[in-house]
Amino acid sequence: MSNEIMSEKSPVVEQTAVTSQRRYDIDWLRTLALGLLILYHVVISFQSWGYTIGFPQNEPTLDSLWIWMAMINVWRIPILFVVSGMGVAFAMRRRTWKQLLLDRTVRILLPFLFGYFAIAPIVAYGSMIFYGIEPVYLPGTAHLWFLGNIFAYVLLLLPLLMWMKKRPNNPLLRFFTRLVQLPGGIFLFALPLIVEALLVNPVEYVTYADTAHGFWLGLVCFFIGFLFISLKDEFWQRVIKLRGVALLLAFSGYVWRFSAYQLVGVPNGFIALESMLWMLAILGFGANNLNRASPQLVYWNTAVYPVYILHLPIQFWLALLILPLALPAELKLLLLLAGTLGGSLLLYELVLKRVRWLRPFFGLKFAG
């Protein structure tokens, strides 16, 4: 399947028509990562602490689910920033810096600002009604906070990224090429994450949204993603070769977190190491198994961004109807998940794909 068929490219990870082979695996990983965040948000409504961050909370809760959510919590957001950096590396191959900045303004900043003033208030309104608070108009970043971060990273790193593009044999890239050629050298990419964790020292490592830790961790991961693509086959060969080792180490790290700390009070540096191990494993298995075209990818690569933007207001408003029902918590979780995904897809199909002026506000091209 040609790149031309997949014409509605993602603003978070975009491939380039001038490459000899499209990285379908990166498209899949971005799609799956955003889909996983939707599941993650639904599960929060069934945790005993969901109310502390404004989520409608079911009673009784299903706290045992957090054993599995804690496994993905350390990498669910960092991998989005890695994939975003990869997307910029691909996009720069066929764009000038002005074209790149314009593209990211339209595809990332515009949906972020629209979400801040139009989507987040709907989310907040649903939360206020659920908890009996007098509703007020409350703009905010909500679940779209990372879009603002990504746009900031493009602005901050653009001079460095353009310098690297114009000098493909630059000393920085030569250094990292030699690094990944070392036995196990690819695992040293965890060091920048560990340094960030030790310097910032967040109270809770997995608190990413609107925090200094989330910003700096995202910046590190974004640049690492750019480097991974810049290293070309040197990176992909190593990450595929070591994918099993990375997965074993990552899972062992999670088991240690669970058994030794009960997932509470784990040293931030260790979580950072585990996070990178998970991401390397995911990238390795993705490159080995997902780097192929499919009709499903054509659809979801376009749909997942607007569906993600829509899902949280739909989830909160459906919670008003579903959570008060006298049904088992497990059934309510399934109903809320199905309703959130189904409602988001329905709005995407019936409204966003057809109303041209709305499309750019949800990360879609003006003309479909």
**Over the range 149-188, which residues count as b (16 or more CB within 10 Å of their CB) and which as e?**
bbbebbeebbeebeebbeeeeeeebeebbebbeeeeebbe
What is the mean predicted confidence (pLDDT) over 258-264?
93
Q: Say whether pLDDT at 6 is over 80.
A: no
User: How many independent structural domains does the chain possess?
Assistant: 1
Expressed as residue numbers, the domain containing 153 is 24-359
Report residue 21's pLDDT band, with 50, 70 and 90 as the boundaries.
low
Q: Is residue 13 in a domain? A: no
Query: Mean of the per-residue pLDDT values for the chain?
Result: 92
Whole-angstrom Cα distance, residue 79 to residue 24?
A: 16
Q: Is residue 5 in a domain? A: no
Q: Is residue 248 in a domain? A: yes
> How many residues can be counted in the chain?
368
Report residue 366's pLDDT band, with 50, 70 and 90 as the boundaries.
confident
Q: Say whether pLDDT at 14 is over 70.
A: no
Residue indicated by tokens 């191959």:
93
What is the mean predicted confidence (pLDDT) over 130-153?
97
Whole-angstrom Cα distance, residue 16 to residue 265?
A: 43
For Cα atoms 233, 218, 220, give the angle at the middle one, nearest 5 degrees. Answer: 55
Q: Is residue 38 in a domain? A: yes
Output the CA torsion 304→55→110→97 (10° steps): -70
Q: Say whether pLDDT at 1 is over 70.
A: no
Q: Say whether pLDDT at 113 is over 50.
A: yes
pLDDT digits (tens, 9 = 90+) for 164-212: 999 988 999 999 999 999 999 999 999 999 999 999 999 999 999 999 9
Whole-angstrom Cα distance, residue 216 to residue 212?
A: 6
Q: Say whether pLDDT at 8 is over 70.
A: no
Whole-angstrom Cα distance, residue 88 to residue 12?
A: 8
Q: Say whether pLDDT at 216 is over 80.
A: yes
Number of Cβ within 10 Å of residue 321's Cβ equals 11
Report residue 106's pLDDT band, with 50, 70 and 90 as the boundaries.
very high
Q: Is residue 140 in a domain? A: yes
Report residue 22's pLDDT band, with 50, 70 and 90 as the boundaries.
confident
Helix extents (H) in 182-328: 190-200, 212-230, 233-241, 243-261, 268-289, 295-322
In this prediction, residue 12 carries a pLDDT of 52
In this prediction, residue 13 carries a pLDDT of 47
CB 119 within 8 A of CB 144: yes
In this prediction, residue 368 carries a pLDDT of 56
Whole-angstrom Cα distance, residue 65 to residue 53?
A: 18
Q: Is residue 182 in a domain? A: yes
Q: Say whether pLDDT at 18 is over 70.
A: no
In this prediction, residue 306 carries a pLDDT of 97
Q: Is residue 266 in a domain? A: yes
Whole-angstrom Cα distance, residue 68 to residue 24?
A: 27
- Percent above pLDDT 70 for the chain: 94
Q: What is the phi-psi region of residue 325: left when phi exceeds 0, alpha when psi lies from -120 to 50, beta otherwise?
A: beta
Q: Is residue 368 in a domain? A: no
